[in-house]
Structure 1
Amino acid sequence: MGKKRELHKRLVPFINCKDYTVSRETYEVMFNPEYDMMVTSPVPVDLENYYQSEDYISHTDSKKSILDKVYQSVKNITLKRKLSLINSFKTEAKNILDVGAGTGDFLKICVSNNWNVLGVEPNSNAQNIAKEKGIILKDDLLKITNQKFDVITLWHVLEHVEMLSDYITKLKELLSENGRLVIAVPNYKSYDAKYYKEFWAAFDVPRHLWHFSQCSIHKIFSEENMIVEKTLPMKFDAYYVSLLSEKYKTGKMNPVRAFYRGFISNLKARSSSEYSSLIYVLKKY
């Protein structure tokens, strides 16, 4: 694995963040200057328990709160954009693997557009909801063998992966020779991250173990002989993350203030390219 084993070495203290979703515990977010990325420390031994919350929206289809309704409405728009992206790739077999498939909505829309789908989701509650939609999910990426996929997607998943180096190696193994790996992750160099600091919702400790920059994505994947072919913005994330960040910072979502910060973040990113979240399209070389 070479230098990828250095991700937890030579770390410099950067900021302390609280888990606002489950435990209220505080974690240190450390900076790795060699990779220009952040690392959450320590990693709980019972990390799976930190996903057990009704507030963890990606594992439910909840529409109870205003935030839930915003999330579900935006999700319907982003699903169409994700589909448009993968349909732009030149593939023959149309085999897609979605890792961290949640409740199966992305794979469901892929099925309706003639994709052959397979998904991975470790959360049993999310699996059951997906099953009701006709989407059967595996619980572990390592259980997939002797298969190749034209497209592999990870929508806000890579930041959750514990054994990052091994996971990337496995993803590359499952990708067809001319396939595309699509990864969406938060960007800690965005304006909203710098503005909200320790209250920035996309730090989401301890569930988010890694906090990537564009530089770190390029470097980590280049060590697997993969290249970033294209980088795309996820503009809605700036607004949603700002809503949550306002809630963490002030106790209220302050939608007007959050919308303003999201707008400013996207406006500044037009020149800096540092959007709140970014999609990376990668291929082998």
Structure 2
Amino acid sequence: MPIKLSCTTNPNINDKSGLSFAQCSYCYTIQLDEMIPLSILYSESHNYTSVGKVWENYFNLFCMSIQDIVNNKNVLEIGDPSAKIATKLNNYNKWYIIEPNKNNNIILKNNIEFIEGFFDNNFHTDKKIDVIIHSHLFEHTYDPNNFLKKCNDVLVDNGEMFFGVPNMEYIATQEISPFLGVFFEHTIFLNKDNIRHLLRANGFDIIDIIDYENHSILFHARKNTTSLYGETIIHNFYDSFFITLNKYNEFVNTCNEIIKGADKKVYLFGASYNTQFLLALGLHEEKIDGILDNSTDKQNKYLYGYDLKIYSPEIIMNNDSIVILKNGYYCDEIKKQLLCINPNTIIIE
């Protein structure tokens, strides 16, 4: 697999490494056991913007849920290059964002302050932090226990934390991503049960859990003074891991059969990890004419690890094409868009 999920202007950069998985003998959580150094993995951002109605509605719900929590408070947000949440809210006292790849093209309010770096054991602050916020960040952590302990240390007594994670259990049960969605960036398979356990074990009481469709799960927690190691409900996703992988291998074989004699241009949708998965599993790169993606930040670049240029989906408007669509939760939204651009598009899904 390519070691990064970024987009690049140089198609010849293709550092790769094998994905190595392990499973906890106690809670059965599946996770990576070999990591890419953070300084390499996140040497540049690929997440300045989030595109589409699904993400728009997610951030609207996230912001609506925390407005009362952040009123007149000092907030520390972990991991957001573009201040997507802070700029939607108001009435907070001070909003700090720790992030290694700030988007320098945005204009910030006076009470938003960036701290360039990683939230790790080297991070220290003398600021009074009332609330910690992070969105689709927890699944990226290399040591979830250490991360939560650090959050607990930074917060004032009875401080609160609000965060969102992808619904990885839905990904597993619906078989919409190989490896249960775990790869170099999403290092651990998270679900409600193991997140509950992690929070309680690291000094947090759970106030509320909110489901956003089948896309994300939002957690609201409060710092307490004790760590609780209660009985853990154990679900083993070992079989799902291999069932989904086998189905993806079958899908790749089907795609290769269809495109080997195709007389139309063939595109993959999404400059994302699902595309990297398909190519790593053997999808014939030489038969692919490019990658379609709605993010203008990615267009006219190359997906890291491959000599495949990224285009706006509008390129298929006057060009009847084949599009390979394997984008998990977003497939319905994307399919509707592609057929609106060109009803003659052949979609392999």
Deviations, residues 67-92 of structure 1 (Å, cap 9, x unaligned)? x642xx54443332222111243x66
Give the direction of change, closer, same or farther, for the CA distance of 1:210–1:87 in structure 2 (3 Å limit): same
- Residues in 2 aligned to 1:189 and 1:256: alpha-carbon distance in whole angstroms: 13
Structure 1 residue 117, shift from structure 2 partner: 0.8
- Residues in 2 aligned to 1:120 and 1:178: alpha-carbon distance in whole angstroms: 22
- Taking the TM superposition and a 5 Å limit, the aligned residue runs for 1:86-105 are 86-89=66-69, 93-105=72-84
Aligned residues: 224
> Would you say 1:223 and 2:196 are equivalent positions?
no
Query: Is 1:199–1:245's contact at 8 Å kept on the other side of the alignment?
Result: no
- Taking the TM superposition and a 5 Å limit, the aligned residue runs for 1:227-238 are 227-235=205-213, 237=215
> Would you say 1:48 and 2:39 are equivalent positions?
yes
Letter of the structure 2 residue corresponding to residue 28 of structure 1: S
Match of 1:253 among 319, 322, 325: 325
Match of 1:80 among 60, 75, 86: 60
- Residues in 2 aligned to 1:256 and 1:173: alpha-carbon distance in whole angstroms: 36
Match of 2:113 among 136, 143, 146: 136
Deviations, residues 182-213 of structure 1 (Å, cap 9, x unaligned)? 1222343225565134265x42x212222212
> Would you say 1:29 and 2:36 are equivalent positions?
no
- Residues in 2 aligned to 1:219 and 1:254: alpha-carbon distance in whole angstroms: 32
> Would you say 1:176 and 2:168 are equivalent positions?
no
SS across alignment from 2:215 = helix
Structure 1 residue runs of 5 or longer lacking an equivalent are: 1-16, 62-67, 263-285
Structure 1 residue 36, shift from structure 2 partner: 3.9
Structure 2 residue runs of 5 or longer lacking an equivalent are: 7-14, 217-268, 284-323, 335-349
Identify the residue that residue 189 of structure 2 maps to in structure 1: 211
Give the direction of change, closer, same or farther, for the CA distance of 1:25–1:196 in structure 2 (3 Å limit): farther
Query: Is 1:188–1:194's contact at 8 Å kept on the other side of the alignment?
Result: no
Letter of the structure 2 residue corresponding to residue 50 of structure 1: L
Deviations, residues 22-80 of structure 1 (Å, cap 9, x unaligned)? 65533023221423422113112x33323356xx641x24xxxxxx642xx54443332
- Residues in 1 aligned to 2:71 and 2:33: alpha-carbon distance in whole angstroms: 43
SS across alignment from 1:171 = helix
- Residues in 2 aligned to 1:145 and 1:20: alpha-carbon distance in whole angstroms: 30
Give the direction of change, closer, same or farther, for the CA distance of 1:129–1:41 in structure 2 (3 Å limit): farther
Query: Is 2:23–2:31's contact at 8 Å kept on the other side of the alignment?
Result: yes
- Give the structure with the higher percent helix: 1
- Residues in 2 aligned to 1:157 and 1:193: alpha-carbon distance in whole angstroms: 22
Query: Is 2:171–2:328's contact at 8 Å kept on the other side of the alignment?
Result: no
Q: More displaced, 229-238 or 80-89?
A: 229-238
Structure 1 residue 256, shift from structure 2 partner: 11
> Would you say 1:118 and 2:96 are equivalent positions?
yes
Give the direction of change, closer, same or farther, for the CA distance of 1:21–1:170 in structure 2 (3 Å limit): closer
SS across alignment from 1:210 = coil
Identify the residue that residue 140 of structure 2 maps to in structure 1: 160
Deviations, residues 164-183 of structure 1 (Å, cap 9, x unaligned)? 33321221122232322112
% identity of equivalent residues: 14
Query: Is 1:246–1:253's contact at 8 Å kept on the other side of the alignment?
Result: no
Give the direction of change, closer, same or farther, for the CA distance of 1:121–1:225 in structure 2 (3 Å limit): same
Query: Is 1:149–1:176's contact at 8 Å kept on the other side of the alignment?
Result: yes
TM-score (ref. length: structure 2): 0.53
- Residues in 1 aligned to 2:209 and 2:76: alpha-carbon distance in whole angstroms: 20
Structure 1 residue 99, shift from structure 2 partner: 0.7
Give the direction of change, closer, same or farther, for the CA distance of 1:191–1:229 in structure 2 (3 Å limit): same
Identify the residue that residue 269 of structure 1 maps to in structure 2: none
Letter of the structure 1 residue corresponding to residue 34 of structure 2: P
